[in-house]
Copies of this chain bind each other. A is one copy, B any other.
Amino acid sequence: MKNYDIIVVGGSAAGIPAATTARKYYPNKSICIISDVEYIPIPCGIPYVFGTILDPMKNLIPVTKISEGNNLDLVISKVTEINRQKKYIRTDKGEDFGYDRLILATGSKPLVPPIKGIRLDNVFPVNKDAKYLQIIQEQLKKSKDIVVIGGGFIGAEMAEECKKNNKKLNVSIIEMQNHILKLVYDEEFCLLAEDALMKQDINLLFNEQVVEIKGNGKVSSVKLASGKEIKADLVILGIGAIPNTDLAVSAGLDLGPTKGIKVNKYQKTVDENIFACGDCTDKFSFFDGTPSQLKLASIATMEARIAGINLYKIRRYNRGVVGCFSTSLGNNAFAAAGITESVATLKCCDVVTGVAESVNRHPGGMPGAAKLRVKLIFEVASQKIIGGELYGAYSAGELINAISAFISKGMTAEEIVMFQAGTHPALTASPIAYQLVNAAEMALVKLDRA
């Protein structure tokens, strides 16, 4: 039996940074990554395989390169058993590997609801496996009517990319709520996102639930609770994911309230020698410590950095998850971090918002000018920022990360107004029109007048 100091199960957004962090802080330990997928796609890149990258094999996490560069062994096998007493794992190939410390980064599985017809051919949950994505790609070429179930990020991006692949495709999104992306954005931003998709001739159906997927062997239509029936020769399920805990459960590890592997704030499971991180793991909110269903690559890598460093010495802790999202729809960025105004209001948290919009160049005649709108959400009592939403220019992709950091550091509106933002004609709005500062000032003005 081959023995390692550290074994990481999983080679995606949690497993890789867990292993490389362990390597950085424990240079002399032997480390092995075991993945049951040979060609691991970049998770957020999956939709872009269909309309932009056009080849799942060009959207891979460079696991082999990273392993070689960090002196990590890489084994492609499915781990079927953990023997916690004797501290080894067994694979589907019958191999055993001993470990001193184990990190579970087994990720999530797409949610497949128990709808009649869900197992028909050409009904595709989005599995994170490049070979599997190639099958979807092949079927897409033969299809005319695409139905995407679920108007979250994956759903919206998949719809746009299918349309980009072939403008003649009929693409529909079926959403249970009255807006797409409603968990992440306030209504005014949802409307902008819907507008971006509708302009590309994507059909949006709101307040609709799928009751049956019809077909003979292969899907032919999707039936909705309203009675509508939508033609479909390819269906994509984008309704969420659940923690992949099969291995952990079979090893007797506890699960937490979100059905992820239970860990303490150091990412350690109930077993002294086993850590867990990423989508497979239970999570709690940064804001109030309550259980959180969020599953994001940003959260996975954060948790992985905790698990990897803490293996032999506890040095880092989880402060709870802050949702930080970004996407591009209709060539406009949509980004959000923290809590929306509507969610905050539902939770009976008194908030004040500030909104500012300006082009991201100055003067506006500079090349590449695009509008950028910033909405910031502050708790009235503490005047601390708890959320932000952005729309427009691609620089939103980095700006939302500034906002996420502000949230994690509890920055007040006054501190945001007073921080000194660099500005440049070719890169940002002018200092007078700088959206982040102006939005914070607008919130303060409202508080002042209240």
Q: Point out residues on A near B: beta carbons under 8 Å.
A: 13, 16-17, 20-21, 24-25, 42, 44-45, 48, 52-53, 58-61, 296-302, 305-306, 316, 319, 321-322, 324-328, 333, 335, 337, 360, 362-363, 365-368, 394-402, 404-406, 408-409, 411, 414-428, 430-432, 434, 436-437, 441, 445, 448
* B298/A421 in contact, CB under 8 A: yes
Residues of B contacting A420 in the complex (Cβ-Cβ under 8 angstroms): 296, 298-299, 302, 321-322, 324, 404, 408
Residues of B contacting A335 in the complex (Cβ-Cβ under 8 angstroms): 422, 424, 427
* B416/A405 in contact, CB under 8 A: yes
CB distance from A65 to the nearest CB of B (A): 12
CB distance from A128 to the nearest CB of B (A): 14
* A418/B53 in contact, CB under 8 A: no
* A423/B362 in contact, CB under 8 A: no
* A13/B432 in contact, CB under 8 A: yes
CB distance from A48 to the nearest CB of B (A): 5
* B397/A408 in contact, CB under 8 A: no
* B328/A61 in contact, CB under 8 A: no
Partner of A411, one of B306, B398, B405: B405
Partner of A426, one of B48, B363, B401, B445: B48
Pairs A-B, 6 closest by C-beta atoms:
A397-B427, A402-B402, A324-B422, A328-B426, A398-B398, A326-B424
Partner of A431, one of B297, B337, B368, B415: B297
Docked complex Cα distance between A409 and B405 (Å): 10
* A404/B426 in contact, CB under 8 A: no
Residues of B contacting A400 in the complex (Cβ-Cβ under 8 angstroms): 422
Docked complex Cα distance between A367 and B53 (Å): 9
* B401/A408 in contact, CB under 8 A: no
Residues of B contacting A333 in the complex (Cβ-Cβ under 8 angstroms): 426-427
* Centre residue among A325, A416, A425 by max chain B CB count within 10 A: A425
Q: Which residue of B lies closest to A17 (CB)?
A: B432
Partner of A398, one of B53, B366, B415, B428: B428
Other A-B contacts than A305-B418, A328-B427, 19 sampled, CB-CB below 8 A, are A13-B430, A25-B448, A44-B362, A52-B366, A59-B365, A298-B423, A299-B420, A302-B418, A305-B437, A321-B420, A328-B424, A335-B427, A396-B427, A397-B427, A398-B399, A399-B402, A401-B421, A401-B428, A409-B409
* Centre residue among A363, A430, A441 by max chain B CB count within 10 A: A363
Partner of A445, one of B24, B394, B402: B24
Q: Which residue of B lies closest to A325 (CB)?
A: B422
* A409/B401 in contact, CB under 8 A: no
Residues of B contacting A398 in the complex (Cβ-Cβ under 8 angstroms): 395-396, 398-399, 402, 427-428
A-B CB contact pairs (8 Å), 14 listed = A13-B432, A44-B423, A48-B366, A52-B366, A53-B366, A61-B432, A301-B434, A306-B418, A326-B428, A394-B395, A395-B395, A397-B424, A405-B416, A409-B411
Docked complex Cα distance between A316 and B448 (Å): 13
CB distance from A255 to the nearest CB of B (A): 23
* Centre residue among A319, A328, A427 by max chain B CB count within 10 A: A427
* A415/B423 in contact, CB under 8 A: no
Partner of A415, one of B360, B397, B409, B422: B409
